[in-house]
Amino acid sequence: MIIVTGAAGFIASALVAKLNECRYFDLVLVDDFSREDRKVNYQSKQFRQLLDRNLLFDFIEKNENQIDFIFHLGARTDTTEFNPAIFEQWNVAYSKKVWELCTQFAIPLVYASSAATYGNGEMGYNDQHALIPSLQPLNPYGESKNEFDKWVLLQNTTPFFWAGLKFFNVYGPNEYHKGRMASVVWHAFNQIQNTGEMKLFRSHHPHYTDGGQMRDFVYVKDVAAVCIWLMETRKQSGIFNLGSGKARTFLDLVKNTFRNMQIPEKISFIDTPEDIRDKYQYFTEANMSKLINAGYSAPFHTLEEGVEDYVGQYLNMNKKIY
C-alpha cells in the first residue's frame, strides 16, 4: 500500500497518474476532498480508497504493517498567504506527525519541500544540508518549508529511508484549479486564447530586462518520475533539489506557448503587483548534482519539450488532467 497526501492537488495527482502507469494501484489518496473543482484530478485514477486528511494519523497507526511507502506532498502552497498560523498547522506540525509515524513504524517517506526556501537566492541554489539553516525565505510559505527541513535535519531518529524534495517551478497538467498560483504556461495559454496576447510582469530589477526574469521550470511528469525512482531505489536519504537544472526566461516560456498554439506573438508588460514585488524571485536554478550523484540518470524535458507536450497534448485538446 502506498499513501499519497495532497492527492487532489497538482503534483500529487500527477504522481498518482504516473504510479498507475507503472502498475501501482494499491493507493490511499489523502486530502480535503470537499472541493468539487478538484474531483477530476483523481476520479479517473485507480486506487484503494480516499481518506480525509484529518484521519491520516489514525489510519497509519491501524494499518502500519500494510504501508509500503508514503508520499507526503500535501501542503498549503499559497505564496501570497501571510498568516503564519496556517502554515504552521499544515506545513510544519502536520508534517512532523507524518515523519514521527514513519519513523515509529519504519515506513519510507518522500515529502515536499520547496525552492521557495532559497529566498532571493543570494546563497545560491545548492541543496547541501549544511546551508539549510542559513537560508532566508521571502514569505511564510517558504519559511514553513524551511522550518520543517531544519527540524528534519536535527532528528536523531528517522525513517529508514527518507527524501525531501525542493520543487522548483513545476508546470503541467492537473494545475487548472490553482488560480493565481498556477504556472505561467497555464496563465499564458488562457490569456492568449481569450485575448490573443500575453502580459508579463515588468522587471523592477536593474539586472533583468522585462520578461528576462529567469526560473527553473520543471515539467510535472519529470517530478513524478523522480518520486517513483526514489521509492523504488531508496539509495540515499536527504534533501534534494528537484528542478530541470536549467534557468530559462519568461519570454522563452511564453514564446514557446504562442508557437505551440500557432498564434502570432503579441507580448506586453505590466507592473508586478505591489503585494509581491518585494518578495519576487528574479532567478532560480536548481543545482541537480546531488540527485544525479545519487544515481538518477533519466533525462528531463527541455522547456521546449515540456511546453510542447503540455500545450499540444492537453491545453489545445481542452484536456485538464494527466
The string of DSSP letters for 91-105 reads IIIHHHHHHHHHHHT
Residue 277 lies in a domain: no
What pLDDT sits at residue 64?
A: 97
**How does residue 113 score in pLDDT terms, banded at 50, 70 and 90?**
very high
User: For 16-35, what is each residue's pLDDT tens digit?
Assistant: 999 999 999 999 999 999 98
What pLDDT sits at residue 77?
A: 60
Q: What does the alpha-carbon distance between residue 88 and residue 151 come to, in Å, rounded to a whole number?
A: 13
Range of the domain at 68: 2-168+217-245+285-300
Closest CA to 93 of 123, 64, 66, 72: 72
- To the query of whether residue 62 is one of the catalytic residues in this protein, the response is no
Residue 56 lies in a domain: yes
Q: Look over the chain and give the mean of its residue pLDDT values, rounded to a whole number.
A: 94
Task: Tell me the pairing of strands 217-219 and 169-171.
Answer: parallel
Burial class (CB in 10 A: 0-12, 13-18, 19+), 246: middle
Residue 10 lies in a domain: yes
Residue 86 lies in a domain: yes
Report DSSP state, residue 4.
E
- Residue of 24, 118, 125, 141 marked catalytic: 141
- Return the number of other C-beta atoms located less than 10 Å from residue 118's C-beta: 27
Query: Is it the case that residue 84 has pLDDT exceeding 90?
Result: no
Residue 74 lies in a domain: yes
Cell 525552492 identifies what position? 115
One-letter amino acid at 192 equals I
User: Are the beta carbons of 254 and 210 closer than 8 angstroms?
Assistant: no
- To the query of whether residue 310 is one of the catalytic residues in this protein, the response is no
Distances (CA, A) of 137 to 95, 142, 152, 289: 19, 5, 17, 22
Distance of CA 163 to the CA centre of its chain: 14
Domain count along the chain: 1
**CATH number assigned to the domain comprising residue 107:** 3.40.50.720
What's the whole-number mean pLDDT along residues 229-249? 97
Distance of CA 309 to the CA centre of its chain: 18
User: Are the beta carbons of 134 and 182 closer than 8 angstroms?
Assistant: no
What's the whole-number mean pLDDT along residues 44-55? 96
Residue 251 lies in a domain: no
Residue 211 lies in a domain: no
Residues 6+ apart with CB under 8 A from 256: 303, 304, 307, 308, 311
Closest CA to 240 of 288, 293, 297, 170: 288
Distance of CA 283 to the CA centre of its chain: 17
- Residue of 150, 178, 199, 246 marked catalytic: 178
The gap between the terminal CA atoms of the chain, to the nearest Å, is 22
Residue 314 lies in a domain: no
Stronger pLDDT, 169 or 276, i.e. the higher one: 169
pTM: 0.94
